[in-house]
Amino acid sequence: MKNNTNNQSTTNNQESLITINSNFSTTKLHYKLLDEKYLDENGKLKENYKFKLRFPEFGIIDSKIPAKEGEKFDTYLFLPEGEGRKGEGGLRTKGYFKFSYMWNEGKWWIVDFDGNLIKPVPEEIKNSIHTYMNALSPKNQHTESYNSKSILQSTIQSNNLTSNIQHPTFNKLPLITVITVVFNGEKYLEQTIQSVINQTYPNVEYIIIDGGSTDGTLDIIKKYEDYIDYWISEKDKGIYDAMNKGITLAFGSWLGFLGSDDFFENNALTNYYISYCSNIECDIIYGNSRVLFGDKVLYYRKSDHQIDHIKKDFIFFHPDSIAKIKVYKELGMYDTNFKLAADYEFFLRAYFNGYKFLKIDKTIVNFRVGGFSSNYKKAFYEKIKIYKKYKSKLTFMFLIYSVYALIIPYIKDKLKIKEDSKLLRLYREAKYDM
């Protein structure tokens, strides 16, 4: 970890108290929803309360937030035990939860998914919010309106946002949920986790869905037990089934995914936040990525500004993006009939249903090729099915790239080409903008 972790969370068994290190993005704004009567001598939620929690002011009934009219699914505090459950944990199991916040009538409030006021925030959360807002707006440290026109001006210009955007005040601090799905990912998982908990943005919820790993993955997850909001380890029916589990657990107003071998830039979520404050009508925000093979940079992928090009191909990487939770609530989750390209189908579904996309010209994620969706051949055939579903046309360039994507992995496998091969160097130098 980048921050000093000598003060990591510890459990005082005698007093049933848990001390949370608040130096991380996932611990700065945690809210103690459950008092001591719900917790056992180790500070963990008692099993007999697990699916019976009721907090009507937060919309929580029997440990879930029921779907409203027109929504496709409920939101759960905890997942019922699935096949082969190996473990469960995180801040939620110790009574801590995260929410979105809004400035209204001279104070900060906890708000629900729809922005409705629930209750004023506790003093320690208010102070943490003020610290972050003043960092964004140093010229306004003696006010609580956080009007940061000069800082936003440079951000808007650097992100190539439209010139008619109104300079806002920072009167909202939405919870951003990040979900990582992993199976036997011990090689890079710790780097992934650290990139989330060390974000400069302070209101982050982190959920990890493990597919029942048999390597050291669980040991890494447990090491960060008090910086992860909720994690489970159990069998799933594929990566998109695991992602859907995570979606049903998200309390965030915004939701993004980060692969277990990828990692964020430190300001990734702050860049999303500032861009959202500049264009509050957007539903999906996406940026650029740095593409790696192992730890070697292959190229920088600059995503396409022309969102209508999504009809031709996936114009950004999934981890480059976040979407409002309402998009999932209204459209539904990932179609698990697609095993490799369900993310592309989801964003195409959002496009054809009129949701608004916003491109920011910032590097968001470091993306390692060779992961699940790098199975190019199967992904190619799934994309053909998606094109047929939405009556999109295949483009000549997509066909050329697809042939390339099918042939190169085959050649590398047959020739047993290593990372430092001449082919890799040529590929890196070419900096393909796929």
At 251-290, the pLDDT tens digits run 999 999 999 999 999 999 999 999 998 888 999 999 999 9
Domain ranges of the chain: 10-371, 374-430
Average pLDDT over the chain reads 83
Instruction: Please report the beta strands in 141-262, taking only residues with DSSP state E, as ranges in sequence order.
Output: 172-173, 176-182, 204-210, 230-233, 254-257
Token duo for residue 421: 């091969």
pLDDT tens digits for range 192-243: 999 999 999 999 999 999 999 999 999 999 999 999 999 999 999 999 999 9
Q: Identify the pLDDT of residue 433.
A: 33
pLDDT of residue 311: 86
Mean pLDDT of 75-98: 97
How far is Cα of residue 350 from the mean position of the Cα atoms in its chain? Answer: 18
Question: What is the Cα–Cα distance from 172 to 116, expressed in whole angstroms?
Answer: 12
The domain covering 10-371 belongs, at the CATH homologous superfamily level, to Spore Coat Polysaccharide Biosynthesis Protein SpsA; Chain A (3.90.550.10)
Compute the average pLDDT of residues 418-434: 42
This prediction has a pTM of 0.84
* C-alpha to C-alpha distance for 212 and 215, rounded to whole angstroms: 9
Sign of CA dihedral 86, 90, 94, 95: negative
∠ CA 263-268-271 to the nearest 5 degrees?
170
